[in-house]
Chains A and B, each alone.
Chain A
Amino acid sequence: MTSVRRTSLLAAAALSVAAFVAPAAAQVTLLNVSYDPTRELYVDFNAAFAAHWQQTSGQTITINQSHGGSGSQARAVIDGLDVDVVTLALEADINAIVNNSGKIAADWRTRLPNNSAPYTSTIVFLVRQGNPKNILDWGDLVRDDVEVITPNPKTSGGARWNFLAAWAWANREFGGDEAQVTDYVREVYAHVPVLDTAARGSTTTFVERGIGDVLLAWENEAFLALEELDPGAFEIVVPSISILAEPPVAVVDGNVDRRGTREAAQAYLEYLYTPEGQEIAAANFYRPSNTGGLPAEALERFPALDLITIDDPLFGGWAEAQPRFFADGGVFDQIYQ
């Protein structure tokens, strides 16, 4: 009892200070809660949108950013992080907000074009300069002399896409013979010397520790490693087939209605789909979902490849794929002993 009373007293004291410290709300502010690799993208995009909003509405707008693991960011929104828009990695993370807090309407996916995914990405190979092991497609990953770096799909969301992309290639290669497909994927994981818990850990293993011949990575992360980490040390190989990830965005209805920011929040997300927004996404290594009106040079870094989505009958959406492949006792547990 006493500790509760003391806590609330302290909270009250802290609150009065917070009121004193908090800046006056003389202008529109939006909070965008996003996942880790989008930081550079939204630094550029926020500046462009602020200029656009100033021009069209006359209002000065400040967009604050929060980045973290996509799942933990969704958790923070559920726990009350006062956010106007979410731009997360997975549809499931926004659905978690829908189901656990009701702050986003259930039809969010249909409110913006392309399943509310303004940009997409896919899994590609990052290899060492000159591609010394001559790794060109998924089949090369199981050659005796090749070591593959990918994180553990049990703990890493990104790693599940790697797993499913490999599965998709094998399914096409072996004409849907599931035994052969399983054997291939088992063989891939037998070539993984270090199974890190998260994607950043795998990047570090490959780039900084110099372990492995090929890193399975998000295309946007691979470009980042290429251009920022160690220019000239790596190159990207685009396989014949991969998986299409559609990081979704949504307005957080419950919060924008209370804060009176719906109009600005909606305009913010819609601006992502304009040629200006799409070009910024492309410049930050995300594949634009609406290429109309974009200059050819903005797109030339994204070679065409076969892309399969998680909603393909092969996987049947995350609701089906997650338990089948990654739950305890699922396919991954069976092949990785």
Chain B
Amino acid sequence: MAEATPPKHSARDVTTEGPVVRVVLIAIALAFAALVLILPLIVVFTEAFDGGLGTYFASLSQPDARSAIRLTLIVAAISVPANVVFGLAASWAIAKFEFWGKSFLTTLIDLPFSVSPVISGLVYVLLFGAQGIFGGWLDAHDIDIIFALPGIILATIFVTFPFVARELIPLMQEQGTEEEEAAVSLGASGWKTFLFVTLPNVKWALLYGVLLCNARAMGEFGAVSVVSGKIRGMTNTMPLQVEILYNEYNSTAAFALASLLALLALLTLALKTVLEWRFGDRITGANGH
């Protein structure tokens, strides 16, 4: 007995719990994850396939559903690249250069994380809506922004703004400027330095940021619902269409569409895990060059 028990004040005591405590802790964690994460996911898929495979695909091929899927893809296809360009530019500027207003820019990038998505949508209504600051001018020139594709894209870009930059800045900062300085001193142009030195160093982190950005862009509800106008078959994105179908008591169709979003989430999760497992050091910069 006395032999099996470790000495009372050994260092191991701090990090090693008794088997009972460990089992209880693991059980709590697993039960909680099952309750709030896995169970809802299962519900999504069981509800979606409630009426059988035929109904599932029939509800996905409804014109309104197809249009929602198409719109969501278009929005992501524009807002994600826009944020990649911005994210690269911002993190490059912040990590490699010193300039006035740098810390302000860094803070600004985080703004969308702390602003409620409803506000993100409303600011665009206040700017570009008919009663907004630019409303009269836009109306006179017959340009639609709010309640049309441009508004939805703007709102999506706003809420997904930080994802790419947030992944790149810490990594670039840690990598420092030595490699770039070497390249420049060997005669490389700025563009070449970026393309052949900086970009390869951050490519996995960039991909990671793109994944997160894309998942959010396709899943955004709040900001988009404010600027969408909810025109069926035209300005409803997938998350909006899910809500509408559900409110119309059409839960099979709602969950069919929701299952696509859930699949996207699972795919994102899988790719994210692969990236973390394979290139973890090059994403976080923890054990970087």
Interface on A for B, CB 8 Å cutoff?
3, 7, 10-11, 13-15, 17-18, 21-22, 31, 36, 39, 64-68, 76, 78-82, 100-101, 200, 224, 228-229
Contact = CB atoms under 8 A, between A and B. Distances in A.
B144 A18 contact: yes
Interface of B: 74, 78, 82, 108, 125, 127-132, 135, 139, 143-150, 153-154, 157, 229-235, 244, 247-249
Given A18-B144, A67-B230, A80-B139, A100 B154 contact: no
Contacts of A36: 247
A81 B229 contact: yes
A100 B127 CA distance: 17
A15 B129 contact: no
B78 A17 contact: yes
Contact of A15 (B143, B247, B248, B249): B143
A64 B231 contact: yes
Contact of B234 (A14, A64, A67, A68): A64
Given A80-B130, A101-B130, 4 more contacts: A18-B150, A80-B128, A101-B131, A228-B249
A217 B127 CA distance: 39
Contacts of B74: 17, 21
A67 B236 CA distance: 11
19 contacts: A3-B108, A10-B154, A14-B150, A14-B153, A21-B149, A22-B149, A64-B234, A65-B231, A66-B230, A66-B232, A67-B244, A76-B147, A78-B130, A80-B129, A80-B132, A81-B147, A82-B144, A228-B249, A229-B249
Query: Nearest 8 CB-CB pairs, A to B?
Result: A80-B130, A79-B129, A14-B150, A18-B149, A81-B147, A66-B231, A14-B153, A81-B229
Contacts of B125: 79
Contacts of B132: 79-80
Nearest to A207: B249
Contacts of B78: 13-14, 17
Residue in B148, B149, B150, B229 whose Cβ sees the most chain A Cβ within 10 Å: B229
A3 to B, nearest CB: 8
Nearest to A22: B149
Nearest to A9: B82
A79 B130 contact: yes
Main SS at interface, chain A: helix
Contacts of A228: 249
A80 B146 contact: yes
Contacts of B130: 78-80, 101
B131 A79 contact: yes
A13 B130 CA distance: 21
B229 A14 contact: no
Contact of A39 (B82, B108, B248): B248
Residue from B74, B231, B233, B247 whose CB has the most chain A CB atoms within 10 Å: B231
A229 B249 CA distance: 7
B158 to A, nearest CB: 9
B247 A200 contact: yes
B82 A68 contact: no
Nearest to A4: B127
Contacts of A10: 82, 153-154, 157
A275 B85 CA distance: 58
Contacts of A79: 125, 129-132, 146-147
B213 to A, nearest CB: 15
A13 B143 contact: no
B154 A82 contact: no
A15 B229 contact: no
Contacts of A100: 131
Contacts of B148: 18
Contacts of A81: 146-147, 229
